[in-house]
């Protein structure tokens, strides 16, 4: 089940997503490699945001989305997903272990006033 972020994004605006990484013991862990992908509910890539590498991963990652990253499907509220994938070194199981998660959030459409 994705971690659903309660605070919605506003269509075409700016939005930050943060995730904290922990190991199998619940301790904070810094990935050795990490990337993220922005998708719709069917797994289609949004705004060419596919396997975006994080140069220097940390135990808390923050990504910044804006503009075309945050477009709605028509005039309806839209849910988007961030797929996180990487590797980490486990104190119990060793190096190169997969670290995968998914976050979801809603985008509220902007309806422009009629003139």
Q: Rounded to two decimals, what is the model's pTM?
A: 0.90
pLDDT of residue 32: 95
Report the distance separating Cα 55 and Cα 101, nearest Å: 18
Nearest to 31 by CA among 43, 21, 19, 17: 21
Q: Give the domain ranges of the chain.
A: 3-108
pLDDT of residue 75: 86
pLDDT tens string 10-65:
999 999 999 999 888 888 999 999 999 999 999 999 999 999 999 999 999 999 99
- What is the average pLDDT across 93-111? 93
Q: Which two tokens mark 5? A: 């972020």
What CATH number belongs to 3-108? 2.60.40
CB 19 within 8 A of CB 40: no
Supply the mean pLDDT for the chain: 93
- Would the pLDDT of 111 be above 90? no
pLDDT tens string 60-89:
999 999 999 999 988 899 999 999 999 999
- Would the pLDDT of 2 be above 80? no
């Amino acid at each position: 089940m994705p971690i659903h972020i309660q605070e919605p994004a506003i269509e075409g605006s700016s939005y930050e997503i943060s995730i904290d990484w922990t190991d199998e013991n619940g301790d904070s862990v810094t990935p050795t490699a990490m990337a993220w992908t922005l998708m719709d509910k069917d797994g289609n890539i949004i705004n060419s945001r596919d396997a975006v590498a994080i140069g220097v991963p940390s135990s808390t990652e923050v990504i910044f989305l804006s503009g075309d990253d945050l477009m709605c499907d028509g005039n309806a509220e839209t849910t988007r997903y961030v797929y996180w994938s990487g590797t980490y070194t486990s104190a119990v199981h060793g190096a190169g272990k997969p670290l995968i998660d998914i976050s979801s959030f809603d985008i509220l459409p902007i309806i422009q006033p009629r003139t």
